[in-house]
Every structure is written in structure tokens, then in C-alpha cells.
Amino acid sequence: MPRENRRRGKRKKNDIQEDLDEKEPVKLKEPEDEGQPSWIETGHLNETSDPDAPFGLCDPDIKAYFRSVENQLKEWQDLGVEKENVSEEDSNLERRMFFSAALTEMQGKECMLATDPDCAVILERMIYSMDDLARRIFMNNLIGSVVELAKHRFGSHVLETLFELGASTVSRETQGILPTAQALPQFANQPTMSKLVAQFCKEITPTSPALVNEQFASHVLQRLITLLVPSLDFLREKKSFRSKRSAGYKSKQGSLKSVFEAAPDLPDATRKTPPEFLSLAKEILNCIKEKFSASEIRALAADQVACPTLRV
């Protein structure tokens, strides 16, 4: 029969079903295992996270609690230390109990609070009222997240304040002045501020070349170097380490000082540091010098962000 006169017959439903059954199910292509450890796979989840909240979003109830803490600290900072009709120890007792509860609530949430636009400045206010031991505990809980905090818009401000006030803690430790609570068993193994600063340097040094012209981290790097070498702090008289926007925002927060009666901080010129701090500063400097050529250094010197860091 000629081909054009042929008619194709209809297939039966049973035949169609048999053809479908014979076809192999389509398998989704699974990612190839390249022998990488499991933690690398979980790290991909961070790529889709919010860069403004790298440690997670702060719960509204937690925010509300720390706002109440800030309001109380502001009130006490405006009042100063009460000395009328009550002894100084008694007046500080209520404040210390309140502040201790706030510190307990903060534990485990330091990085999340430091990168929150509302809570970061509250942490800065709290650092002013922390004693040396509390600052060390707070700083110890930031280990492992220093670089990410330094690059963050709000986390960088918290680190700057911590380095600025931690300089006095380092000076007291160098002179053998330790908190009385250090003798308690639960704090016996708490690292000193000097050791914590050295740990921070180990995290920052490998990435220091990239931080030189980083918008936020460059200010943290400047503050860290002047913490290591107090003689460089005279540069602060010429220009603040904080950006103009940061300094303006901080000035709007009112008085930032301790709510407890504390000894005045020593002038920068008389601050003491351990001998190894100078070596840590040199390691950062050498890492930067090895990364950049002479022409690149000249280009960075003309950069608005990198120039102040190179000056330090």
C-alpha cells in the first residue's frame, strides 16, 4: 500500500501504560562528593544569609529587654553615683545586681547583639560599665568572629569601644592589678585581656592587608594597632579613629561612662603593655608589607579609607 494511504492505528491504553513502566525513573543529579568535610557543606548556608545580620536576627523580646537596660543605664549615668543618705557600696549594690542580670542575659548572644542596629550601641554603653573581668568574659565570647565583626557596620563600633577601654585593663594587668573575683574557682581559667588581645591579633593578622582599605574594618585595625603600641595614640589628637558618621552618631547617644564609681583611666602616655605586644604589631605590619608592592602602597596612600590606616 502506498505510504501516503497508510493510516496509523490508535494505540491501546494498556500499551501506553506498559511503555511508561518500562522507562527508568529520572534521577536527580546529586552533588559530587569531592572528599570535603561536612562543615564545608553547611558553610554554604551562610552565603544566602542576610549580610546585615550574619549571626542571625535579634528576637524582638530580647531587643525590648536591652532597650530597658539602656534606659536604666542612661538614667544612672545622668544621676552619677548617689552618695546621699546611703553608703557608696549600698548604692552600687542595686546597680551591680541589675547589671549582672543584663550580662547574664547577654552571654551567648554577643555577636548577634553587636551586629544589630539597635543593640550595638547598647553593648557599647555596657562596656563602659564593665569591670576588667566582665570585659574579658565578653571579649572571650567574640573569639572566632573577630574579622566578621570588624567588617560589619555596627560590629566594628563595638570592637573599637572594646579596644579603647580594654587598653586600661591591659595596663592594670601588666602592673599585676587583677580583679578580686579572679580568685573565685569559676574564673580561675579565664584568659587575661593581654592573652585575648593576642588571640584577636592571630585572627586579624592573616587578613590585615584586606582590612587596610575596608570601610569599617580599617578603623578597627587602627584602634588595635594603637592598643598594641600606646605611643601611637597621639595620632588620635589630630584625627579621630572613628569615621565622621560614626563619631556623629555616637555623640547623639549622650554621656557614655560607667554607672559605678571607678578609678580614672591612666593617660595613654603612661599606659603599660606586655613586651609581646610590639611583636604582634610588627607581625601585622610585615603581613601588610609582604602583600603590597611599592606602587600599590602609593595607590593606597591616595585612598580615602586606606590612608589613615597606613599613617598609623
pLDDT recorded at residue 310: 77
pLDDT recorded at residue 10: 54
pLDDT in tens, the chain (312 residues): 555 555 555 555 555 455 545 555 554 444 444 444 433 333 333 444 677 889 999 999 999 999 999 999 999 888 765 544 445 555 678 899 999 999 999 999 999 999 999 999 999 999 999 999 999 999 999 999 999 999 999 999 999 999 999 999 999 999 998 887 776 777 778 899 999 999 999 999 999 999 999 999 999 999 999 999 988 766 555 445 555 565 555 556 666 888 886 555 555 557 889 999 999 999 999 999 999 888 888 888 778 877 777 776
What is the separation, in whole angstroms, between the first and last Cα of the chain?
Answer: 96
pLDDT recorded at residue 185: 73
CA angle 35-39-43, nearest 5°? 115
pLDDT recorded at residue 232: 78
